[in-house]
Amino acid sequence: MSDPKVSQAIADGRVPKEITAEYLNETRDASAIAGILFVTVLTSIIVLGRLASRAFLMHRFGIDDALTFVSWLGSGRHFAYIQYVLDMPTVEDTEVLDFIAHILYTTALLLCRISGLAFYHRLCAVHDRLRIAILVVFGVLIAGYLPQLLLIVFHCMPVTGLWPYEWQPGFEDYTCLQWGLVYVVNSSVSLVCDFLLFGIPIVMLRVLEMPRKRKIQLACILLPGISVIAISIARLVLVIEGQWNMDMSWAYNPMLVIEVSEIGGTLIALSVPGFKPLFDKFILQRDITQGEGTGKSSKPQQSSKGGTALRSLNFRPEHDVLTSRDTSAEGTKLRFFLAPIAIMKLLSLSLAAGLIVNQGASAKPNNKDEPLFSYNANLLPLEKNVGSSDLFPMAKCNGFKLEEATFTEMQNAMKAGKLTSVQLLTCYLIRTYQTEEYINSVMQINPDAFAIAAERDAERAKGKVRGPLHGIPFTVKDNFATKDSLETTAGSWALLGNIVPRDAHAVKKLRDAGAVLFGKAALSEWADMRSNDYSEGYSARGGQVRSAYNFTVNPGGSSTGSAVGVGANAIAFSLGTETDGSVINPANRNALVGIKPTVGLTSRAGVIPESEHQDSVGTFARTVKDATLVLDAIYGIDKRDNYTSAQKNKTPKGGYAQFLSKKNALKGATFGLPWKSFWVHADEDMQSQLLELIDLIKSAGATIINGTEITNYETLVSPDGWNWDYGTTRGFPNESEYTYIKVDFYRNIETYLSEVENTNVRNLQDIIDFNKKYDGTEGGYPYEDGKGHPAFASGQDGFLASLETNGERDETYWQALEFCQTSTRKGINDALSYKGKKLSGLLIPPQVAQAPQIAAQAGYPVITIPGGYSKESGIPFGLGIMQTAWAEAELVKWASAIEDLQLSEDAPSKRRLPKWLGYLERNVPVPF
């Protein structure tokens, strides 16, 4: 140091004896400079890695990243201190530089900590208590650091003249508040703030439900965070020991490293989680040559001479079915070329079972010389009955009125010996043959169906009846695996010929209950995951499914064939799946009862998946009782679906059918009407008819409360219709359902395909490539410029969006998942608790697709029953009831009571037979 005032003070003996010129000029720079460089480089690498991974790889850059960046730049002020170590300036210069440096230092520390809070807020902004805690800590930070800045600004007389204090070397012209006091105050406040800041991850780890990887990330904050607290303590000790003894030299040696380390440690702690995407991309990136990620299968590629699903079925690679650009239902052409043969084969099996199909013959089952079975159907539509339900009349089944028959009525007929399961199956088979060319609801008929039905009849003859579903035929959506002669393809030619390892759990449960699998129902291809602009109910393999109520409009989906078949009396009941509306929507549009249960009540094992967070197996039937009996047969814990373990101690002993009720149960019930949330989006015709039904419910003694809104519905409910990417539409992908669904699909489809055999389709990339190769049928490209297929206007943009994610569950993924689940659950729960009163349920218009969408995001149950019919199109619409998790018993109770009220009052809203409007139309696409 070459300050003449200090030199004179030493010469005059006005300084402590230990402070000599030689002492002040000693070289002690090596450790300080090395420490500064090491901590700064380490911090820079980690912070820049975080910024690169977030801003350039993930394309998402939040306020916490910006604050971290500014803090990192601010930490660079420590390089100015190197000059003190190498050549200490005058005391006055030192004071000026110290003043500026400490302003930057304290500001950098403040921004560091605020960036941490911003990061925590992004993780748990929808968790009320944690959000409040974060805001409190933010307030403490501001309250703590602002006085620090003020103390630095006003501590010296050249600025204020307010602080007379004892003399220090070189300070004859002015007096300053001792730096030691400033440091002690600053260090103490920082220490308190650090304890609060790094206590938040501990609370989050204990309170929030999150994946193990996320917990590890938060835990990684704690180790450097503890180090930061230790550094603050060390700094405080050095301040007391050094500055209080008037030894100025400490400020330019170990203290510099400590200050650098404090900021660096904080930045490192808060940057570890953001560093993960970069690590995943460049270190853990899966080798596409090994069949992982977006690449090809790890199995050797088979030659073009054999091995593919198409080759195994003797299809030529360029078969017309896969290359035609015909706008009709291509899949239907091949299927119905073979349909008459299949029908005759199945009918011949019925003869072997002792049955005779004889149109016009009378039924005398006790006379062995006459037919045991008669069916009087006219299989052709009767032109004189166009526009009425008699266009496709359904004849009696061996004297039994099968049309609209309930399970109880079927069981009574079989118990009385008036009907057998084989006869019942045959009647549904002929009904399918009568209507299939028009409604196209069945993807494939089960060749084993008659053998199964004969076994059920044999069991009944021996006195064994498995339950209320014994001997009753059903279909399942073509995304349920069945270990039999049926295909499982999700409506795509890409999966034709694949062999599944076992029955889906729900299918096995129905088999065990004695039901007879009739076949696979058609669906919207890949359950609507493949495209965002498509024809609902269309699949390349199955063609366009059409509602028997109106052939020209959207029949509802994606469980289209399941609903249409039951609605047209072509099958007794069916299973479907829902990720977002795919059970409730088609049930609502086909005058059915549809139950979408709580996620985890019914196992999804063996179902071609979309998202484990929202996928649910639901039921379709014509009455609440029948739909409930099916639910009773399939719900339960399954070791292959971990989500089902959540139902333990939350489901009723003895099932849900015990909660079926009559109209008098409505007396004293209280229902909420979330008008602004959903009802305002219904058209006047729908509102008018549904409000008539609600008035009928009120007349039965129920109370209706209008305005029981979903909390924050303005943020959750799109005003422009169903939109599962509504968060992104508003500019917040971290609040979008689609953000996590497309990631889940990428991961889950690869897992599913890893278990199937006899196919080279192993991942999403393989499916996309197949669709492009057979573009004319599968619509691999958008429908324009001679490419694509009209049913898939946007090509396979849904698949491409999923592929782009590479299955990475990044921060935005978890934020979106938590936002959608937490906010919708809170919204529904709040609406169900009106002014502290627990409501019986929320009445919703399920035709307004945003309503079941909110329940889907929450994973909550919904039931829909017939509620009316559009005056313009004739398409039905339902009245839905929404409830909280595991409240299916409530839904069954109130839906069955309302249904009984409709029937007893002969209300116009009750289920009616379809009128087959536009039955000769074949438009593709159907209006959405």
Query: Catalytic positions, please?
Result: 477, 558, 582
Residue 576 phi, psi dihedral angles, 5° rounding: -135, 180
**Euclidean distance between CA atoms 50 and 59, whole angstroms:** 12
**Euclidean distance between CA atoms 454 and 569, whole angstroms:** 22
**Euclidean distance between CA atoms 262 and 260, whole angstroms:** 5
Type and span of the H or E element at 153:
helix 128-154
Type and span of the H or E element at 266:
helix 254-282
The set of residues, in sequence order, having a beta carbon less than 8 Å from that of 409 and lying 6+ positions away, is none
**Euclidean distance between CA atoms 339 and 347, whole angstroms:** 12
- Work out the number of other CB atoms within 10 angstroms of the CB of residue 350: 20
- Helices 811-832 and 850-858, axial angle in degrees (round to 10): 110
**Pick from 115, 116, 134, 112: which is nearest to 124 by CA?**
134
State whether residue 349 is helix, strand or coil.
helix
Residue 885 near residue 853 (C-beta atoms within 8 A): no
Structure tokens given for 679 = 């009802």
Long-range Cβ contact pairs of 217-220 (< 8 A, separation 24 or more): 217/272, 217/273, 217/276, 218/123, 218/273, 220/269, 220/272, 220/273
**Pick from 819, 890, 897: which is nearest to 597 by CA?**
890
- Work out the number of other CB atoms within 10 angstroms of the CB of residue 653: 5
Q: Which amino acid is at 849?
A: A
**Pick from 586, 573, 561, 571: which is nearest to 442 by CA?**
561
Q: Which amino acid is at 545?
A: V
Residue 269 near residue 221 (C-beta atoms within 8 A): yes
Residue 133 near residue 200 (C-beta atoms within 8 A): yes
Residue 562 near residue 476 (C-beta atoms within 8 A): yes
Q: Which amino acid is at 814?
A: W
**Euclidean distance between CA atoms 675 and 678, whole angstroms:** 6
Assess whether the previous peptide bond of 261 is cis (omega < 30° from 0): no
**Pick from 744, 90, 777, 704: which is nearest to 492 by CA?**
777
3-state SS string for 493-531:
HHHCCCECCCCCHHHHHHHHCCCEEEEEECCCHHHHCCC
| Burial of 737: CB neighbours in 10 Å, binned 0-12, 13-18, 19+ | buried
Type and span of the H or E element at 124:
helix 91-124
Place of tokens 């609600």: 694
Distance, C-alpha 362 to centroid of its chain: 55
DSSP state of 878: E
Residue 606 near residue 503 (C-beta atoms within 8 A): yes
**Considering just the CA atoms, what is the radius of gyration of the chain in Å?**
36
**Pick from 870, 875, 793, 324: which is nearest to 546 by CA?**
875
Q: How many residues does the chain have?
A: 928
The pairing of strands 703-706 and 876-882 is unpaired
Type and span of the H or E element at 633:
helix 624-634
Place of tokens 């943020």: 715
Residues forming a β-bridge with 539: 543
**Euclidean distance between CA atoms 42 and 47, whole angstroms:** 9
